[in-house]
């Protein structure tokens, strides 16, 4: 398969704050006893399935108990069949033992032939033993590669250990990846000081990942840890310990409702659902009440999970279509915001807030629930807004992504939004974006073609626009950049040569920050449309003249 057609989708990702992960993650190693227990548990499950099948078969084929004689004959036939099956199993086991014995005997004979052929019994009695000080063929041996002056590439064990251990300045990036071969949860290391980015470890997944949410709550004992909750195309929610390498399964699963076969009669206790019945589309962990996790699902519900109990504590059914997103208020622990395909945002246990909301039409809204109309409406993209992330430290800095393949940087401070940067990343459809919690200008983007980590200060427009809001350390790093601002601006202009003249002119104005893109309640968008029409009329008139 060609590289162009190969699948390499990153639908979800998140950052882990510095210092939250173990300096030296744990490695999973199974000894023989543990492996034996796993095999035994699996066998017991298989036996249980087989027993259930036998019971169902007996129940389906059993005649009605009207004549005792027929029942006795049927019971004898069943018993005879079981005896025959047991006899076959016994014979098969005996044949297997005999084959094993023959195999061992053959191996012992083969070993004896090798010993006799090469005289290995007299090997230690050689009259002229090799002088190992002289090496083999005149080559002088050394205890290690470090002692051999002729070997320039030394042992890289120390280097591997150094890469495995985490530094205090390291961030983790957890991301879901889907390729032609498998679905994977990957954990990457990012170090801004050393400009390093590499994969640390990964986990194989059974299904397509949709959303990740970080949490520090250990479901085993309530202590702090380093975990991610994952929502997938299945109704289950899996919890993974990022501090454990080579794990074969999640530490816990918040189980959804499995589909029940139509032929099987549903019991009353099975009607009491304990989880979702469809794909989990979004997750949000309550940082103030650490054992609470909220989940949004395609089954049109929002569930609040008690992680200590591993079950649903409450179910919200206020939406009429799939619930696409959910988020806890950053300060008010009792307030939850939800968004749905029914085109409604609901604030559960309401307070006055001004959240940013995006739509599948490419619009971005700022909403104050104390007002009837949005504070402003921004036409951010030509297609749906699939990713929205605020800077972790810079007030007013917002980044959006879209299937239109554009990555855009906005300044929304003072409720007067303006476009600072628009860049086509050449990664096909952009699915998600997230800001580094420790580096306010570093964003990770997931797309149809892999993922990218980008320090947007590489853009002169971004540096110039947000310089006065940068922390002193970051501002100091940008000192002396004034000379290359013109060069960067020229490079950005070259990237826009493929645009229409009118669009290029408007883009240039936006990048310069000379005018807002939109004003409150969409007035700016209407002004833009009027301006475009006016330009087109002038252009048309000039051509006719």
Judged by DSSP in three states, 488 sits in helix
Given this model, what pLDDT does residue 107 score? Answer: 61
Do 93 and 86 touch, CB atoms closer than 8 A?
no
Residues making up the chain, counted from first to last: 545
Judging by DSSP bridges, how do beta strands 280-285 and 252-254 pair with one another?
unpaired
Look at residues 455, 457, 459, 460 and name the one whose alpha carbon lies nearest to residue 445. Answer: 455
Contacts of 76 (CB under 8 A, 6+ apart): none
Strands (E), 192-306: 196-205, 209-217, 224-232, 237-241, 244-245, 252-254, 280-285, 292-297, 302-306
Given this model, what pLDDT does residue 202 score? Answer: 94
Look at residues 350, 297, 365 and name the one whose alpha carbon lies nearest to residue 326. Answer: 297
Q: What does the block give as tokens for 333?
A: 């622990």
Q: What does the block give as tokens for 219?
A: 């479901």
Do 14 and 174 touch, CB atoms closer than 8 A?
yes
For 472, phi then psi, to 5°, come to: -55, -35
At CB < 8 A and 24+ separation, what contacts does 376-379 make? 376/415, 376/416, 376/417, 376/518, 376/519, 376/520, 376/521, 376/522, 376/524, 377/518, 377/521, 377/522, 377/525, 378/410, 378/412, 378/417, 378/517, 378/518, 378/524, 378/525, 379/517, 379/518, 379/525
Residue with tokens 């950052």: 15
Q: What does the block give as tokens for 104?
A: 């061992």
CA R_g for the chain? 33
Q: What does the block give as tokens for 373?
A: 């109309």
Alpha-carbon distance values, 484 to 58, 463, 509, 513 (Å):
83, 11, 20, 18
Whole-number Å distance between alpha carbons of 390 and 395: 8
Given this model, what pLDDT does residue 521 score? Answer: 38
Alpha-carbon distance values, 171 to 6, 158, 194, 203, 440 (Å):
29, 21, 12, 18, 13
Q: Which helix (H) or strand (E) holds 447?
A: strand 442-447
| Per-residue pLDDT of the chain in tens (545 residues, 90 and over written 9) | 444 557 899 999 999 999 999 999 998 776 667 666 666 666 665 565 455 545 544 554 444 444 455 556 555 555 655 565 566 556 666 666 666 666 666 666 666 665 565 555 555 555 555 444 444 444 455 555 666 666 665 555 555 677 789 999 999 999 999 999 899 999 999 999 998 999 999 999 989 999 999 999 999 999 999 999 999 999 999 999 999 998 888 999 999 887 655 444 444 333 335 799 999 999 999 999 999 999 999 999 999 999 999 999 999 998 889 998 999 988 888 889 888 887 777 776 644 444 566 667 778 778 777 777 878 788 888 888 889 999 999 999 999 999 999 999 999 988 888 999 999 998 999 999 999 999 999 999 999 999 999 999 999 999 999 999 999 989 888 876 655 554 555 555 544 444 444 444 444 444 443 333 333 334 444 444 444 444 444 444 444 43
Whole-number Å distance between alpha carbons of 340 and 324: 5
Whole-number Å distance between alpha carbons of 505 and 486: 17
Do 447 and 539 touch, CB atoms closer than 8 A?
no
Whole-number Å distance between alpha carbons of 247 and 239: 12
Whole-number Å distance between alpha carbons of 344 and 336: 14
Do 402 and 382 touch, CB atoms closer than 8 A?
yes
Contacts of 430 (CB under 8 A, 6+ apart): 386, 387, 401, 402, 403, 405, 406, 407, 445, 446, 447
* Helix, strand counts (H, E) of the chain: 8, 27
Given this model, what pLDDT does residue 266 score? Answer: 41
| Cross-strand pairs, 231 | 211, 237
């Amino acid at each position: 398969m060609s590289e162009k057609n190969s699948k390499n989708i990153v639908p979800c990702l998140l950052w882990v704050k510095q210092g939250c992960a173990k300096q030296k993650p744990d490695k999973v190693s199974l000894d023989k006893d543990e492996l034996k227990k796993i095999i035994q548990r699996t066998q017991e499950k298989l036996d249980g399935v087989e027993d259930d099948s036998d019971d169902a078969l007996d129940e389906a084929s059993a005649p009605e108990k009207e004549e005792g004689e027929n029942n006795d004959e049927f019971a004898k036939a069943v018993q005879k069949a079981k005896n025959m099956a047991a006899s076959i199993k016994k014979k098969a086991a005996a044949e297997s033992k005999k084959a094993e014995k023959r195999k061992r005997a053959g191996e012992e004979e083969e070993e004896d032939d090798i010993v006799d052929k090469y005289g290995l019994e007299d090997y230690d009695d050689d009259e002229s033993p090799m002088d190992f000080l002289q090496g083999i063929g005149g080559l002088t041996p050394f205890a290690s590669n470090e002692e051999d002056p002729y070997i320039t590439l030394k042992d890289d064990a120390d280097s591997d250990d150094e890469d495995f251990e985490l530094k205090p300045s390291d961030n983790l990036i957890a991301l879901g990846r889907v390729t032609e071969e498998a679905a994977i949860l990957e954990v990457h290391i990012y170090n801004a000081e050393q400009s390093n980015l590499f994969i640390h470890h990964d986990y194989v997944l059974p299904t397509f990942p949709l959303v990740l949410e970080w949490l520090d709550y250990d479901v085993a004992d309530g202590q702090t840890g380093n975990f991610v909750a994952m929502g997938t195309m299945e109704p289950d929610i899996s919890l993974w310990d990022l501090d454990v390498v080579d794990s074969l399964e999640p530490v816990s699963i918040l189980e959804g409702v499995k589909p029940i076969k139509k032929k099987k009669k549903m019991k009353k206790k099975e009607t009491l659902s304990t989880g979702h019945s469809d794909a989990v589309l979004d997750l949000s962990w309550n940082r103030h009440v650490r054992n609470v996790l909220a989940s949004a699902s395609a089954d049109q519900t929002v569930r609040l999970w008690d992680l200590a109990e591993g079950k649903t504590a409450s179910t919200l059914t206020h939406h009429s279509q799939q619930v696409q997103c959910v988020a806890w208020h950053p300060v008010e622990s009792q307030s939850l915001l939800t968004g749905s395909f029914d085109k409604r945002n609901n604030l559960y246990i309401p307070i006055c807030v001004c959240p940013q909301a995006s739509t599948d039409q490419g619009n971005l809204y700022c909403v104050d629930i104390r007002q009837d109309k949005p504070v402003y409406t921004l036409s951010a993209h030509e297609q749906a807004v699939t990713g929205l992330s605020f800077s972790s430290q810079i007030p007013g800095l917002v980044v959006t992504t879209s299937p239109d393949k554009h990555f855009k940087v906005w300044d929304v401070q003072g409720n007067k939004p303006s476009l600072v940067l628009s860049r086509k990343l050449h990664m096909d459809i952009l699915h998600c974006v997230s800001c580094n919690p420790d580096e306010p200008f570093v964003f990770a983007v997931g797309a149809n073609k892999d993922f990218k980590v980008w320090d947007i200060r590489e853009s002169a427009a971004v540096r110039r626009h947000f310089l006065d809001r940068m922390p002193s350390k970051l501002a100091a790093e940008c000192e002396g950049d004034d000379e290359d601002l013109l060069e960067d601006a020229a490079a950005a202009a070259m990237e826009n040569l493929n645009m229409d003249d009118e669009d290029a002119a408007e883009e240039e104005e936006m990048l310069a920050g000379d005018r807002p893109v939109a004003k409150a309640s969409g007035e700016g968008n209407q002004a833009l449309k009027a301006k475009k029409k006016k330009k087109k009329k002038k252009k048309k008139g000039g051509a006719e003249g």
